[in-house]
Amino acid sequence: MRCFCLVLALMVTGCSSSPDDAPELVEYTGVVTLDGQPLGDAVVMFHPTQPGLNGAAGQTNADGEFSLVTGNRSGVTPGNYKVTVSRIVTKDGSPVSTDEGMDIEQLRMSGDASESIPDKYSALEQTQLTADITDSPETPPSFELTSS
């Protein structure tokens, strides 16, 4: 878990800024579905496509809803992002929770856990999901994923 959390923290925060020069963030909430059903226990990552921006992340609840956080602050910096959605599950299909102290990377390397979301959404190199965040976002888009 420590390895996964460290990687997640580095991806989300990028180069840390002091509070005085921290960029303004806008609140961003959204919904993720898979085959028309809410996707719970998934990590939604916003990867900046512009230099100088930090990434943001959120975890979906049982209704597929998420709110983005940048570092330890609620919201996301306006800009363009590639979006990935990841849901790691054990062999029996139950989601792996970082809250339970599981080391996700060790579970994946041992074959006891795997990515349940297709690479076309979960792999940064392959995702076609994008978001353009403005200073005053309208209703954020839902991310409607399909398993095929």
92 or 39: whose pLDDT is higher? 39
Q: Which CATH architecture has domain 2-14+25-135?
A: Sandwich (2.60)
* Residue 78, amino acid: P
124 or 104: whose pLDDT is higher? 124
pLDDT tens string 40-54: 999 999 999 999 899
pLDDT at position 3 over 80 = no
Question: Distance between alpha carbon 24 and the CA centroid of its chain, in Å?
Answer: 20
pLDDT at position 7 over 50 = no
The chain-wide mean pLDDT, for the chain, equals 83
Q: Six-digit token pair at 83? A: 């979006």
CA dihedral (69, 71, 77, 79) in degrees, to 10, reads -90
Helix (H) or strand (E) holding 80, with range, is strand 79-86
Q: Are 83 and 143 in contact (CB under 8 A)?
A: yes
What is the reported pLDDT for 100?
Answer: 55
Other beta carbons within 10 Å of 98: 16
Out of 17-21, 79-83, 114-118, give the one with best mean pLDDT.
79-83
Its sign, for the CA torsion 109, 111, 117, 121, is positive
Q: What is the mean pLDDT of residues 127-143?
A: 84
pTM for the model stands at: 0.79
pLDDT band at 73 (very low <50, low <70, confident <90, very high): very high
pLDDT at position 93 over 70 = yes
Q: Are 107 and 113 in contact (CB under 8 A)?
A: yes
* Residue 100, amino acid: E
pLDDT at position 4 over 70 = no
What is the reported pLDDT for 1?
Answer: 40
